[in-house]
Structure 1
Amino acid sequence: MILFLLFVAVPIIEIALFIQVGGAIGLLPTLAIVVLTAIVGTLLMRVQGLATLNRLQTSLRSGRNPVDPIAHGALILVAGVLLLTPGFFTDAVGLLLLVPPFRAAVIQAGAARMAGKVAMRVQPGAHGPGPEAARSADVIDGDYTVEEEDAPDESRGSSGWTRRD
């Protein structure tokens, strides 16, 4: 439903802004501003995208969690799409997404929202990690069965992938 509202509201906002700005400064300056913001936004996106790619490579080489550079890179990509879309509203949102503190706030808000939806709830008595799991992180609990190598297994079928030679 929210996506539908965005697809309806954003074009209406853009049309209204085009009419207001075009009426105030004229057609050619309005079109020039739209083209200029697309060019400037593309250049900013390229610079910030390359910097984010370098941060991602550095974090992968050092073994750190790459989620932050990936999230920043995704929002820079969204900013680029918005800046290439003609309109004042999309340009404003795209330029805001190119501001690193604003981007960090959007990522933090999205992470908090996702954490609320993905929260794991373990009920008392349910199977799952208990207090002892925190003390012995190197112990893995599991079940196993021993299969005889020499005994033919009829349940595996006769395909070439499961047949023993």
Structure 2
Amino acid sequence: MRPFIAFSVLLAWPLAEIAGFVVVGRALGLWWTLGLVIGTGLLGAFMMRQQGLHLLKKLSEQSQQGQIPASSVIDGAMIVVAGILLLLPGFVTDIIGIALFIPFVRRLLWSAIGKRVVVVGPRGSRGGFSHPSGGARENPNATGKVVDLDEEDFHRNSDPNPSSPWSKGIDRDP
């Protein structure tokens, strides 16, 4: 069923864009329509730059405070998608792209899909950013012994192909 839905969307999307061009072209004329398409592309590039710089600052602040900046990363991903949609020619993609630049819409979209996402950080996994469900895992095969080798304690006894260029620089017995 899902491949059929994906195929239907991929087929309907260009048709919707063509219909959008026809409707806007009839209402505004050719030159205004082309200007609008070029303008939204430039707007997308500008907004990605502006929002991206703000996002980098926010990510840096959260990282310095020791927080996992997962929501900022999601915001950033949605901003990138919004910018790409604005760069693509078409009015349907422009409407979706402009909507994704609005923080409220991004939060609403994330509340709808965020429950299905698991974020893994340095302290384990966090299902939907709430309660830690992971943590440090122990290796059942670990013996607790650590083997510390110095350079002179470790060497390769044989090289299957000494003329290979991949083996140059590998320590060999003289």
- TM-score w.r.t. length of structure 2: 0.66
Query: Does the aligned pair in 1 maintain the 2:44–2:84 contact within 8 Å?
Result: no
Match of residue 6 from structure 1: 9
Q: Structure 1 stretches of 5 or more lacking a match? A: 121-133, 150-157, 161-165
Per mean C-alpha deviation after superposition, the further-off stretch among 69-78 and 35-44 is 35-44
Cα deviations by residue, 1:75-128 (Å, 9 ceiling, x for unpaired): 11101110000011100100111001111111221112346xxxx9xxxxxxxx
Match of residue 27 from structure 2: 24
Shift of 1:44: 1.5
Distance 2:158 2:8 in 1: 52
Match of residue 130 from structure 1: none
* Identity within the alignment, %: 37
Match of residue 88 from structure 1: 91
1:124-163 to 2 correspondences below 5 Å: 142=140, 144-145=142-143
Query: Which of 68, 72, 75 is the aligned partner of 2:71?
Result: 68
Cα deviations by residue, 1:113-151 (Å, 9 ceiling, x for unpaired): 346xxxx9xxxxxxxxxxxxx9xx89968454477x8xx
More strand by share: 2
Q: Aligned partner of 1:86: which letter?
A: P
More helix by share: 1
Tell me: higher relative CO, structure 1 or 2? Use CA pairs within 8 A at least 6 residues apart: 1
Q: Structure 2 stretches of 5 or more lacking a match? A: 119-126, 128-132, 148-156, 160-174
Distance 1:11 1:51 in 2: 33
Distance 1:159 1:66, change over 3 A: farther
Q: Is 1:42 the equivalent of 2:45?
A: yes
Q: What CA RMSD, in Å, does the superposition of the two structures yield over aligned residues?
A: 3.4
